[in-house]
């Protein structure tokens, strides 16, 4: 599906630009897009390096494992098949906690680390395992306590009550997270991997 969307974006963009007689826009957009792709990655380097450093300390101290044990009932329900005390569980938990506290940038390295651990359990290295899909679902549903950026923007436009959307965001995010979990569980049941995939 990603393949289809990718191709669709490029072909549709090309066709529309051609019909409007502004094909030069495509060239410009290609270089703009490529540039911002690299810029975003370089922005990620500093955060990734720092947080992975801190997380390694936590791992060496046994904190990730302790956290995984603490929250294991929920995680085990969401991720059946991951062995007890596997480091992936710790990273998944840190990723989820960081998301909840709105530490989006801190959540990404932990999420990637969790994916790397899940990849070790994955028998098909180029196909996403069910556990990976679940982790992704939790991340895209984006459980949020404080939509910090939005409050800041609303403040700058003189809102009478910039934080009034905290409640609505919480409810909406709760509903979409619940939907993500249910839809994921549903797909997981119908998913027949080749041969049995654990996780």
Partner 1 sequence: MYDFVNLISAWAIPVIIVFIPLYAAYRKVPVYESFVDGAKDGFDTAIRIIPHLVGMMVAISVFRASGAMDLFIGWLKPLCEEIGVPSEIIPLAFLRPITGAGSLAFTTDLISQFGPDSMVGRIASTIQGSTDTTLYVITVYFGAIGIRKAGYALKVGLISDAVGFIASIVVCYLVFM
**Tokens (6 digits) for 159:** 């809102």
Interface with partner 1, residue 5, by CB under 8 A: yes
Interface with partner 1, residue 136, by CB under 8 A: yes
Rounded Cα distance between 88 and 113, Å, is 8
Sign of CA dihedral 12, 14, 17, 21: negative
Q: Least Å distance between CB 173 and partner 1?
A: 4
Residue 76 or 185: the one with the smaller Cβ distance to partner 1 is 185
Interface with partner 1, residue 148, by CB under 8 A: yes
Q: Which residue from 21, 139, 194, 198 is in contact with partner 1, where contact means CB under 8 A?
A: 139
| Count of residues of this chain found to bind partner 1 when the rule CB under 8 A is applied | 110
Q: Which residue from 1, 84, 189, 192 is in contact with partner 1, where contact means CB under 8 A?
A: 1
**Tokens (6 digits) for 170:** 């919480």
Q: Least Å distance between CB 76 and partner 1?
A: 20
Q: Which residue from 15, 80, 83, 85 is in contact with partner 1, where contact means CB under 8 A?
A: 15
Residue 75 or 110: the one with the smaller Cβ distance to partner 1 is 110
**Tokens (6 digits) for 117:** 């651990």
Rounded Cα distance between 183 and 127, Å, is 19
Residue 89 or 135: the one with the smaller Cβ distance to partner 1 is 135
Cα dist from 162 to 17, 56, 86, 144, whole Å: 40, 38, 42, 16
Interface with partner 1, residue 123, by CB under 8 A: no
Interface with partner 1, residue 191, by CB under 8 A: yes
Residue 62 or 83: the one with the smaller Cβ distance to partner 1 is 62
**Tokens (6 digits) for 189:** 């049941």
Residue recorded with tokens 């960081």: 98
Rounded Cα distance between 116 and 110, Å, is 10
Q: Least Å distance between CB 172 and partner 1?
A: 4
CB 173 within 8 A of CB 142: yes
CB-CB neighbours of 75 under 10 Å: 21
Tell me which residues in 50-109 interact with partner 1 (CB under 8 A): 50-63, 101-103, 106, 108-109
Residue 83 or 164: the one with the smaller Cβ distance to partner 1 is 164
**Tokens (6 digits) for 7:** 């191709």
């Amino acid at each position: 599906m990603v393949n289809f969307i990718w191709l669709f974006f490029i072909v549709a963009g090309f066709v529309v630009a051609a019909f409007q007689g502004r094909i030069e826009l495509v060239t410009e957009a290609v270089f703009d897009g490529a540039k911002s792709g690299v810029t975003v990655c370089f922005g990620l380097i500093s955060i990734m390096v720092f947080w992975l450093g801190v997380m390694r300390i936590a791992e060496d101290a046994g904190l990730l494992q302790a956290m995984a044990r603490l929250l294991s009932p929920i995680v085990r329900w969401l991720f059946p098949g991951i062995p007890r005390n596997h480091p992936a569980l710790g990273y998944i938990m840190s990723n989820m906690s960081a998301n909840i506290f709105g530490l989006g940038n801190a959540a990404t390295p932990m999420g990637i680390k969790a994916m790397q651990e899940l990849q070790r359990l994955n028998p098909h290295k180029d196909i996403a395992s069910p556990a990976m899909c679940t982790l992704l679902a939790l991340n895209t549903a984006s459980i949020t306590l404080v939509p910090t950026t939005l409050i800041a923007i609303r403040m700058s436009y003189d809102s009478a009550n910039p934080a009034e959307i905290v409640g609505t965001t919480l409810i909406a995010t709760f509903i979409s997270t619940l939907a993500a979990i249910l839809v994921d569980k549903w797909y997981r049941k119908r998913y027949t991997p080749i041969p049995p995939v654990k996780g």
